Amino acid sequence: MKDRTETLLESFLSRINPHHKGAPEFLQAVEEVARDVLTIEKASREFTAARVLERLCEADRIISFPIIWRDDAGEVRINRGWRVQQSNLLGPYKGGLRWVPGLTLSVLKFLAFEQVFKNALTGLPLGAAKGGADFDPSGRSEAEIERFARAFMAELGRHIGPEIDVPAGDIGVGTREIALLSRAWVQRAGQWGGVMTGKPLALGGSAIRAEATGFGLVYFAEAMLAEHADSIAGKRVALSGRGNVSRHAARKAFELGARVITLSGRAGTWYAADGFSAEALDWVVGATGEAAQDPPGGLGVEFLAGKTPWGCAPEIALPCATQNELGLDDAKALTANKCRYLAEGANMPLTAEAEALLTTGGVIQAPGKVANAGGVAVSGLEMQQNSALIFWSAEKVDRRLKKIMGGLHDILKAERASCCTPGGGLDYRRAANVAGYRRLAQAMVAVGVS
């Protein structure tokens, strides 16, 4: 006989699925949340009557637009752009923009859905959105990036504003791109306003915003390890990616005495058996082209072509690259080598099969909805500074970030009674879904049907 959760899930998905055909990543994210929260919804007459989860699955609006621009050779180029404004229940729409080749609306829908829970959990007044374009910035000249950013904002600009929707960066959109986009909006709107976060300091950005997702990830991991009477110092820590999240997480873990053993890119993994030195970390983060695959001797680093970091026997795994990057074989390698903790710097980096295997294998896992929430939380702090026309010191922002990450850990701990793993420990993944859902459900009940 099917258990109650499976029956509720089946009936829920049969209502949702027909409206989201061709959106596998979105349905994967929804299913994970639904499995955890449907019994909570069912137990409350108000939440059931309000159809909370079904409503959270519906984006308020999805904007799609072409981006027409000219490359350096004078050729006309066409890309596709989107902004998924998922929910402004708790505050202005808020979430990043990614520019990656092959980006699909399904990926953005899943990211916008995840962002609703993540932003709710920060406790800040933030709604949720995600956007981007199927554009590959790598190998493009500065002038091309500038023309593309202007063309992108010519379309997106009419849909955003400091109290409407405040985008930030994400994969392929860093501080420089945000500066271009922000300036393009200010010129178009004829008013200054913190319309984007992640701006350079000189343009009204916040201290620590660039570092926030990576630092916050390590702060959350520290709290999780402390809860298990453990510490990051001396541990073998494997990270994937070498972008903004990964490089700052690696730096913070290194500062705290961890042995950082990997970073990775599309072509393979940089591995330092004894842990990267500060110099080696700088080299890996900065290396470009073919030379990146050939680390200089003496650095203690080898390049493992075509390999992911998960076979390198870490005690702590920090996947920081992209969705579904860690599959079943990687999960098998992690459990076989007795990896004990995992915290997600990327959004939904585990496939559903990998996640199930790690859970059965007793790996303690912090989901992206809390573990990488430091980025958007400091974006919230940037919005506060912008609207008050002030700047806070790096020390102050870092202190607040640490407090927010510690607070997130406490919020999950409070869900312990109903969120246990098979081994009796706290199920962080379920606790994040349940705690985020509760905050959203209470707000939705408060607004009624509107």
Catalytic residue IDs: 130
Instruction: For residue 167, report the phi and psi dihedrals to the nearest 5 degrees.
Output: -70, 165
Total binding residues toward ligand GLU, as defined by CB under 6 A: 10
Rule CB under 6 A: say whether 168 interacts with ligand GLU. Answer: yes
CA–CA distance, 379 with 166 (Å, rounded to integer) = 9
Phi-psi region of 243 (alpha: psi -120 to 50; beta: other; left: phi over 0): beta
Token output for 357: 């295997």
Cβ atoms of 129 and 115 within 8 Å: the answer is yes
Rule CB under 6 A: say whether 244 interacts with ligand GLU. Answer: no
Rule CB under 6 A: say whether 408 interacts with ligand GLU. Answer: no
Rule CB under 6 A: say whether 379 interacts with ligand GLU. Answer: yes
Rule CB under 6 A: say whether 85 interacts with ligand GLU. Answer: no
Q: Which residue in the set 32, 375, 404, 428 belongs to the binding site for ligand GLU (CB under 6 A)? A: 375
Q: Of 444, 450, 439, whose CA–CA distance to 123 is shortest? A: 439
| Shortest Cβ 323–ligand GLU spacing (Å) | 11
| Shortest Cβ 96–ligand GLU spacing (Å) | 3
Rule CB under 6 A: say whether 170 interacts with ligand GLU. Answer: yes
Q: How many residues does the chain have?
A: 450
CA–CA distance, 85 with 230 (Å, rounded to integer) = 40
Binders of ligand GLU among residues 188 to 217 (CB under 6 A) are 197
Rule CB under 6 A: say whether 322 interacts with ligand GLU. Answer: no
**Other residues' Cβ atoms within 10 Å of the Cβ of residue 139:** 6
Rule CB under 6 A: say whether 83 interacts with ligand GLU. Answer: no
CA–CA distance, 356 with 348 (Å, rounded to integer) = 13
Q: Which residue in the set 210, 376, 401, 440 belongs to the binding site for ligand GLU (CB under 6 A)? A: 376
| Shortest Cβ 60–ligand GLU spacing (Å) | 17
Of the two residues 70 and 176, which places its CB atom closer to ligand GLU in the complex? 176
| Shortest Cβ 375–ligand GLU spacing (Å) | 4
Closest residue by beta carbon to ligand GLU: 96
Rule CB under 6 A: say whether 96 interacts with ligand GLU. Answer: yes
Q: Collapse the DSSP code of 109 into the 3-class scheme (helix H, G, I; strand E, B; otherwise coil) and give the result.
A: helix
Q: Collapse the DSSP code of 51 into the 3-class scheme (helix H, G, I; strand E, B; otherwise coil) and give the result.
A: coil
Token output for 127: 């709604």
Rule CB under 6 A: say whether 94 interacts with ligand GLU. Answer: yes
Which residues pair with residue 365 across a beta bridge? 342
Of the two residues 261 and 378, which places its CB atom closer to ligand GLU in the complex? 378
Rule CB under 6 A: say whether 349 interacts with ligand GLU. Answer: no
| Shortest Cβ 168–ligand GLU spacing (Å) | 3
- The rounded Cα 231 to chain-centroid distance in angstroms is 24
CA–CA distance, 450 with 437 (Å, rounded to integer) = 18
Give residues in contact with ligand GLU (CB under 6 A): 94-96, 168, 170, 197, 347, 375-376, 379
